[in-house]
Each structure stands twice: as structure tokens, then as C-alpha cells.
Amino acid sequence: MSEVSSKEMYEVKKTLKELEDKRGRGTELVSVYIPPDKQVSDVTKQMRDELGQSSNIKSKQTRKNVQSAIEVIIQRLKLFPKPPEKGLVLFVGMIPKGGPGTEKMETYVFQPPETVQTYIYHCDNQFFVDPLKQIIEYKEVYGVVVLDRKEATIATLRGKRIDIVKQLTSGVPGKHKAGGQSQRRFDRVIELAAHEFLKRIGRHVDEAFLPIKDELKGVLIGGPGHTKNDFVEGEYLHYEIKDKVINIVDTSYTGDFGVREIIDESEDTLEEMDIMQEKKFMKRFLTGLISENGLSTYGEKEVRTNLQMGAVEVLLISENLKTKRQTYTCPACGTIEMQTTKQHQEAPEKRCPKCNENMKITKTQDTAEELIELADEVNTHVEVISIETEEGNQLDKAFGGIAGILRYKVK
């Protein structure tokens, strides 16, 4: 899987948040997902077909808006001789800004951070963002193991996609009935066979998960009975995989059904993982603040300076950060200055400190986006912190939404 930069992931999450809030008056918002192997000429032809079919829409206003959106898509497709490497996503439609007659055409065209798998044309009163959500979720990889003494199934979960990696059967004998060798001796044979089977499962789990350990977010283990607990508590797993076990689940089944049962039962755990990750980084930051030799910094100016020095190990940005970074350029002498303002605040006028000419705004960018770009340049990990937790609220309210954990003490 290709590496996705923090900036790409931030941008797609930001776009997704904007799109989820958009609503049309009728079923007139058009969403198109184009895989990289799809011919643009084929998509254009299908758009022209949709344009023809849209003449059957009863509502005059909805018909007009759908046709306008499709025409915008056809025009945009002319800019692409072929789809980009990971495909193309387009969201186009008339969004009302108030009462009737206030609709404005909005167009979002971008390359997603992961490959578009399926061609989709969708028309509704809201944009179809589920595939985009799955593209984001796809980055989160979990290992799943369901087992008992008879069989084991090893799988990976990427977003909503389950891939079965390995299925094993044991050959462990069932309960001994009267006759033949003594019960005690037969029980020892069963226990030895069960132990060997757990060792075999452990080897296959290690082979499946160790190569992806850096992107593996957690391991879910389940099954009927106590075998799963023996497996986790025993010395069957490599320590790096064992440390990633986040949930142990009782299931009624093994095999494919058992894998799905584990995932269903672990839904709350999976949702909490992102929050736990955020809490871990915020705890490091807050602990660093009260320590004499702490490696914590906060405030836009300080964090930016430390980022430019390459001193920031983890950049923490509140998802609620609502400021923009503006570049002013003097048309007379070329002097450049930067200023941060609130998102919806009108940019103040600025005079050149060298020649006193009125400076012009030549670039406007979200502050978060600009800091993430800086972080990517110096290999700094970026964590966008939600405001759903107490720590997240603290970052937003008390620290201006921008903080960092340093690699080393800056004098």
C-alpha cells in the first residue's frame, strides 16, 4: 500500500466533513468515482447518456440543476486525458445558501489518497461519501484470529474489507471413550496435540502480521471456550504482535462466521482506538508541560519555529482550528510577509516595512494545512485531535489548537 502523507489525509478528511453537511433541494447532487483503469472517454459518454435521461425528471428546477451539474462534470473531464494514478472523485451540485433562488454551483474534484476500486455515478439530495469514508478507513489495518482446538482462521480487516489469510485444522482427537489406553494417558496426548496446534497457529499469525506490524493498529482474538485465552496467555505469539492484542471475544462460531462475529463484537473497541491514540499523545504533551525537562511546546509561533528547525517529533492540531495563513507580497520591492487571521475574518491591510507600499495578498491557506506541509517536509508525525475528549477540548481552548512534542530540548 502506498504511503499517504499527513497533508493528503487531512485534506480528504476536511473535504469529507464539508461534503457531509451539504444538502440539495432535490435529488440533484452528483457524485462520480472513477477508477484509474477506467477510460475517461467512456465516462464522458456515460455522462452524456445521463444528460439525455435527466430530461425525464419531472421537476423543472431539479432537471435543470442535474443537467447543469453533469455539464460541469463533462467540462472537468476534458482536463484529464486519463484518470490519475489513484483515480478521480467528483462532487458537483447546486447548494442552496438560503431561500429559493440562492443556489450556487459547488464543484469538488480531487485525487483520493487511496485507489478508487469501483466506478460509481450517484445522484441524490446529498453527496455520496461512503466510498470516500472507506478509502480513509482503509488505512486502518487490524489483525483477526478466531480459534478453538479444532480449527483456526487468520484474517485482516482494512476498513470494511475482510481478507482471509490462512485457515488451519488441528487433528486434535476428541473426547476419549472407554476402552484402549488409560484416560490419563489419552488426556496427555490431547493436551500435547492442542499445544502443538497453538504453536502452529502462532507461527502463521506471526508470518501474517509481522510484515505489516508498523501499519497494524491492533489484533482481535476470539473463539468459543478457553482456547483463545490459553493462546493469548501462553508463549505462542511474537511479543510485537502480542502487544497489539486489543480485544478477546467469546464467539459461537469459528471460521469465516467467527471472524465476522469478532469484528461485530469489537465495534466499540475499534471506535475507541482513535480516541485512545489521541489521548496517548495528549498525555505525553501535558506531562511534558509540567516537567522541568519536558519536551512540549504550544502556540502557533513557537510550534512553527520548532517545526522549521526539525525539532518537533509529533505535531498536534485541533480539528477545530479555524485560522488561515495569508502571504502578503509588496508589488514594488517584492518583500514577503505572513500573517495568521481567523477563518472568516477579513484580511487587514498591510504596508511594506521597507518601502511603505500597500502589500497584496498572494496566497491564502488553512493554517492547519500549511503546518502539516511543514511537518511532512521534516518527517514529523501529525495527529489531528478531535474535540470529543476533555484533552481535545483543552488543546483547542487552552493552547490555541496547536501544540507539539519535541525530539530534543530547544534552548
| 73 CB burial (10 A radius; 0-12, 13-18, 19+) | buried
Pair 244, 143: CB distance under 8 Å: yes
pTM of the model as a whole: 0.61
pLDDT in tens, 273-315: 767 778 889 999 999 999 888 899 999 999 999 999 999 999 9
Write the DSSP assignment of 107-128 as a string of letters.
EEEE--SS---S-EEEEESS--
pLDDT in tens, 340-367: 999 888 888 999 999 999 999 999 999 9
Separation of alpha carbons 13 and 35, rounded Å? 20
pLDDT in tens, 204-258: 999 999 999 988 989 999 999 999 999 999 999 999 999 999 999 999 999 999 9
Per-residue confidence (pLDDT) for residue 97, from 0 to 100: 83
Residue with cell 489521548: 279
What is residue 49's three-state secondary structure? helix
pLDDT in tens, 238-249: 999 999 999 999
Q: Poorest-confidence range of 99-103, 189-193, 383-387, 390-394?
A: 99-103
- Count of CB atoms situated within 10 Å of the CB of 138: 19
pLDDT of 389 above 60: yes
